[in-house]
Amino acid sequence: MKNRKLALAGLLGAGLLVAACGTSGSDSTAAAPGGQGFTPPKLDALAQLGQPEGQVNVLAWPGYAENGSNDPAVDWVTGFEKETGCKVNVKAFGTSDEAVSLMKTGQYDVISASGDASLRLIASGDVEPVNTALVPNYADVFDFLKNRPWNSVNNVAYGVPHGWGANLLTWRTDKVTPAPTSWSVMFDANSPYKGKISAYDSPIYIADAALYLQTHKPELGIKNPYALDDKQFQAAVELLKQQRPMVGEYWSDYLKESQALKSGDAVVGTAWQVTVNLTKSEGAPVESVLPSEGATGWSDTWMVSAKSPHKTCSYKWLNHIVSPKANAQVAEYFGESPSNPKACAETKEKAHCDTYHAGDAAYAAKIQYWTTPIAQCLDGRTDVKCKDYGEWTRAWTEIKG
């Protein structure tokens, strides 16, 4: 065990050396991500733009950087290339973990990171602070998305907020009455929808159980569903184990879930807004709600690699991707809420921003955005150790049995 700690310290130390600085992190194991009490490697943001370097390597979620090769009608890259002279090379990733390991190669200039990846990137020194003054469209971005724990550290912005959405409580209106307003229909042992429940298939789903316990078992003292100490974690795992026999199916592919809802194999579950829209458009009577307990969700951030040799093009890309037009195109193509209010006037579907509650800060505040659970409690507690993502993954295997 001691060797392992030493190795960890060595790796962290190497990371700090790369950053060429001597921060307070002499005890390097303390340098862990987290909004509070967390010292990232000292890196400087770009001071001013230079000449465009001719290209930018983009690491993106599928659907975030479309150049018309998938669908000629969907293209917000070609125009950018013509305008700035920066050729865009896109690499799509499938999971946040894949994104984190790809960023370590140093071959990518910008990345669209979800909250469960962004802190890891900041902590390991793979991404650097962003000088938001050099991103004119940043000023338009909704204030409630700026300087949040997953895209900033100590009020220093590490990227540009891009889009967000919630994992909603979704049900078949013809099979589930009355309309549910609480996650109880999915977690209560006496739920009448036993066997027809659809839950998200990922370790991060443990946070959904923790969020439920936050309201229903206040004595556990859960403040942040991503910062769970041993007792809180066990309670969430127990809840999910109790839920398991009631679950008809776990989903990770939203099309598979949509199909289950359509056929009636699932009548209640957690789903994305895009799933609800898709299922509705195919004629199935489904509705969704942000339940009384709140919900988990995602908020993505475009970040700049610390090793990028194409900084000017990177900043131009950041500015472009949150510009009203491009932001609207991505939000509509992907099915999420845009981060730029001006995007709402640019969407093809006029109701898009209403459907996705863009700009609804009260709505957004009820969402607990995905964040990587780490040993240092994200809610600021220092007297206990929290469960890290590795343990979440192991527990998830155990829950599914």
Partner 1 sequence: MTTTLESPRRKASAFLYRKPRLRLGLLLSAPALWLGLAYLGALAALFVTAFWHTDVFTGQVVTEWSLDNFAMLFSDAVYRTITFRTVGIAALVTVITAVLAFPMAFYMAKFASPRARRLLVIAVMTPLWASYLVKAYAWRSMLSGNGVLHWLLNPFGLDTPGYGVLATVITLSYLWLPYMILPIYAGLERLPNSLVDASGDLGARPFRTFRSVVLPVTFPAVVAGSIFTFSLSLGDYIAVKIVGGTSQMLGNVVYDNIGAANNLPFAATVATVPVVIMLAYLAAVRRTGALDNL
Given the rule CB under 8 A, which residues bind partner 1? 3-4, 7-8, 11-12, 15, 32, 94-95, 97-98, 100-101, 104, 120, 123-124, 195, 202-203, 244, 247-250, 256, 259, 263-265, 374-375, 388-390, 393-394, 396-398, 400-401
Considering beta carbons, is residue 172 or 357 the nearer one to partner 1?
Answer: 172
Least separation, in Å, of the C-beta of 304 and partner 1?
20
Min dist. Cβ of residue 256 to partner 1 (A) = 7
Closer residue to partner 1 (CB): 96 or 327: 96
Cα dist from 187 to 243, 370, 371, whole Å: 6, 20, 22
* 147-153 contact pairs (CB < 8 A, 24+): 148/299, 148/369, 149/34, 149/35, 149/119, 149/371, 149/378, 150/115, 150/118, 150/119, 150/299, 150/301, 150/369, 150/370, 150/371, 151/115, 151/118, 151/299, 151/301, 152/35, 153/35, 153/38, 153/40, 153/122
Residue 294 makes CB contacts below 8 A (sequence gap 6+) with 211, 366, 367, 368
Closest approach of partner 1 to the CB of residue 7, in Å? 5
Residue 261 identity (one-letter amino acid): L
Nearest residue to 304 (alpha-carbon basis) of 132, 163, 144, 85? 132
Tell me whether residue 266 or residue 322 sits nearer to partner 1 (CB atom): 266
For 164, the 3-state DSSP assignment is: strand
Minimum CB separation from partner 1 for residue 398, in Å?
4
Query: Within a 13 Å sphere around the CA of 293, how many CA atoms are in the beta-carbon half?
Result: 28
Cβ closer to partner 1: 202 or 329?
202
The residue among 268 and 318 lying less far from partner 1, judged by its C-beta, is 268
Any alpha helices (H) in 244-323, and if so which ranges?
Answer: 254-263, 273-281, 311-321
For residue 352, the minimal CB distance to partner 1 (Å) is 30
- Find the shortest distance in angstroms from Cβ 141 to partner 1: 29
Q: Write the CA distances from 263 to 113, 139, 172, 175, 284, integer angstroms.
A: 34, 45, 10, 12, 8
Task: For residue 276, count other CB atoms closer than 10 A to its CB.
Answer: 22
Q: Which is nearer to partner 1, 120 or 148 (CB)?
A: 120
Q: Give the three-state DSSP class for 302.
A: strand
Task: Report in angstroms how near the CB of residue 57 gets to partner 1 at its nearest.
Answer: 20
- What token pair was written down for 220? 């556990």
Which one, 289 or 375, has the nearer CB to partner 1? 375
Min dist. Cβ of residue 178 to partner 1 (A): 23
Most distant pair of Cα atoms in the chain: their distance: 64
Q: Which is nearer to partner 1, 75 or 97 (CB)?
A: 97
Closer residue to partner 1 (CB): 104 or 231: 104
CB of 363 to partner 1, least distance (A): 28
With H, G, I as helix, E, B as strand and everything else as coil, classify residue 337: strand
